Amino acid sequence: MEGDRPGLLKMMRAKFLFAIIVPITISTSLAVSIQGNFDVIGFFLALFMGLSLHISTNVYNDIYDTKQGSDTSKSSENEFSGGSGVLIEDPDLERDMFSLARAGLVLGLIAAIGLLFTSRTELWPLIIIIYILSVFFSKYYTAGPVKFAYRGLGEIVVWIGFGPLAVLLGGVGQNVVFHPYMISIMPITGLTTLFIVWMGEIVDLPGDLKAGKKGLVSRLGLRRGMYGHLSIHVLALFNLSFVAFLIGPFTILWVAILPHIVLLPIIYRKFSDGLNEPKVIRDVSKLNFSLYFLFSISLMVGFILHIFI
């Protein structure tokens, strides 16, 4: 029945759009603290551009992972990995999915043009580069012939897209880009997104191997992939510590470490107890998402409060 078809929010995987809100909020807050004023229009244009392009990325990812057999009815059962399952439930929605992905690219372009009017002229080439790279990564993260995610390069693309590119996008909205403070936060937002992407690869490993999706976890194997996941968390904490010391030793940013202190030992205790048990890995993926969410919220609150402290 028509009323039972997946809705727009499911098609765009709306809950994962939080991943682009985090870096743009953080970079905007830091830019405001650097220059002392807030460009409201610039912020909303940057956010709108980021959200539009992220929607396109999510939808293209769903389309091509389903076509290539990586996303299946089984992988979509886990809400923190796999795709939305929209095309698995209703293959006739493929045309609508393509239209949605292309609409995101067009809306992103409109926002980019808007940023040209609110930013300094010397930043125009940067805005164009951000848009072109984002569009390219959006489709070819999973689409052929490039298929970054199938060649062990997807993790690098995710880090670039949600790290340096997203931070630069937020900075462009405030006309602050290559300040040392802005450069210092470029790694961490890409790393936080990798918390989810890497764990998703661990959960989806059997299906990815069958479909020939050779991400880094597929190449490393389950146990080394687990240590790779831990390394990403450790790198994020090192980056946080560096930024905190750079901004000021008594910054409220140190609060963001607390979710890791509480949840990371639990995650790896569960991992070590049942690495090859699907139920354990699903439970760990939920804890990992909670850690990602709490860490990201703590970062956003910390950087926003830094404006006033």
Which residues constitute the domain of residue 72?
A: 2-306
Kindly report the length of the chain: 309
Which two tokens mark 112? 């980019």
- Predicted confidence at residue 270, as pLDDT, reads 85
pTM: 0.91
| Cis peptide bond prior to 145, omega within 30° of 0 | yes
CB 159 within 8 A of CB 252: no
Structure confidence at residue 4 (pLDDT):
60
pLDDT given at position 212: 81
Among the listed residues 79, 301, 288, the one whose alpha carbon sits nearest the alpha carbon of residue 192: 288
- How much is the pLDDT for 177? 93
Domain count, the chain: 1
We report the CATH number of the domain holding residue 234 as: 1.10.600
| Count of C-beta atoms within a 10 Å radius of residue 211 | 18
Residue 126 neighbours by CB distance under 10 Å: 18
Query: Splitting the chain (309 residues) into consecutive groups of 10 residues, what average pLDDT does each group show?
Result: 66 88 96 93 97 95 85 59 73 89 96 95 96 96 91 93 96 94 94 92 82 86 88 95 82 87 90 76 88 94 86
Predicted pLDDT at 1: 42
